[in-house]
Amino acid sequence: MIRQALLDIYQRLMAAYGPQYWWPAEEPFEVMAGAILTQSASWLNVEKAIANLKAAGALSPEALRRLPLPVLAEIVHPCGYYNAKAQKLKSLAHWLGEHYDDDLGQLFASDVDFLRGQLLSLHGIGPETADSIILYAAHQPIFVVDAYTRRILRRIGLAPEGESYGACQALFMDNLPSDVRLFNEYHALLVRLGKSVCRRRPLCAQCCLNDICRCPVQLDSSRKVN
DNA sequence: GGCCAGGACACCA
DNA sequence: TGGTGTCATGGC
């Protein structure tokens, strides 16, 4: 029932938008840094910050450790919350060096639950950031839930009670095959659709999910900041 | 000039 | 345990 609905939605999104080929990064550590930098920021601004990191030769744990915090903050300035994000990148870089000798292969070879626990123990890495790293950098099967996912689930009447991160994640993981490629494209497609879904209106007439949109609510409560 | 964007955390009741 | 404030830039 739910499984069929989720697969139907996936097929509609894929037919409408095609494969998204996420994550837009050249190597795993870039995914990790990008996952932190994109927290509550537009990807356009994140791209600028990542370009700055590349230009400064700072897109590696070792380089980040050497960089003075104020300099790093200036480099990631375009994507907002620059002081907080600079500190988060520093914490990640130091942790990778101390515990894994900067060997991402060793980190990513861990069992999913252990890996998730490790990532969540770090300052600045919450559920969505950890799961983005696990799926898009470690290539292990876990479903990423973000504000877009919750908003779309609400529109089509599939949002679990309370819309907690875990409940939304379980909705997908309990009803879909545990497949990295499927989880990868599904989340990317939800983001692709979400970018065109207004917070204040139901799905528009052109939306590929319009015929199953059940949401009478005009206002979105998923966003808490500002 | 206000709204919004691929969150996380500290603090408080 | 849940609600609220803070962190902040840049495009539209």
Residue A124's nearest nucleotide, by CA–C1', is B8
Q: Which nucleotide in the DNA or RNA is closest to residue A79, CA to C1'?
A: C9
* Residue A87: nearest nucleotide (C-alpha to C1'): C7
Structure tokens at A205: 């007439």
Task: State chain A's maximal CA–CA distance in angstroms.
Answer: 54
Nearest to A34 by CA among A19, A49, A55: A49
| Element (DSSP H or E) covering residue A66 | helix A61-66
* Residue A147 burial (C-beta neighbours within 10 Å; 0-12, 13-18, 19+): middle
Verdict on whether the full-model pTM lies above 0.85: yes
Tell me which amino acid residue A13 is. Answer: L
DSSP conformation class of A160: P
Query: How many residues does this entry show for chain A?
Result: 226
Give the CA A105 to C1' C12 distance in Å. Answer: 41
Going from the C-alpha of A86 to that of each of A76, A82, A118, the distances in angstroms are 7, 6, 20
CA distance A51 to A137: 19
Strand C contacting residues by CB (7 Å): A 40-42, 44-45, 48, 77-85, 162, 224-226
In whole angstroms, B11 C1' to A73 CA is 25
At residue A221, the pLDDT reads 46
Query: Cα separation of A189 and A13, whole Å?
Result: 6
pLDDT value of position A216: 59
Nucleotide B9's nearest residue (CA vs C1') is: A124
Residue A199 and residue A140 in contact, taking contact as beta carbons nearer than 8 Å? no
Which bases of chain B are under 7 A from a protein CB atom? Answer: 3-10
Which residue's C-alpha is at the least distance from the C1' of C6? A225
The residues near A71 (Cβ < 8 Å, ≥ 6 apart) are none
Q: Are A198 and A204 in contact (CB under 8 A)?
A: yes
The string of pLDDT tens digits covering residues A173-218 is 999 999 999 999 999 999 999 988 777 777 877 889 888 888 655 4
Write the pLDDT tens digit of every residue in A57-95: 999 999 999 999 999 999 999 999 999 999 999 999 999
Question: A199: which nucleotide lies closest, measuring CA to C1'?
Answer: B4
* Protein CA at A91 to nucleotide C1' at C11, angstroms: 30
CA at A14, C1' at B4: how many angstroms apart?
Answer: 26
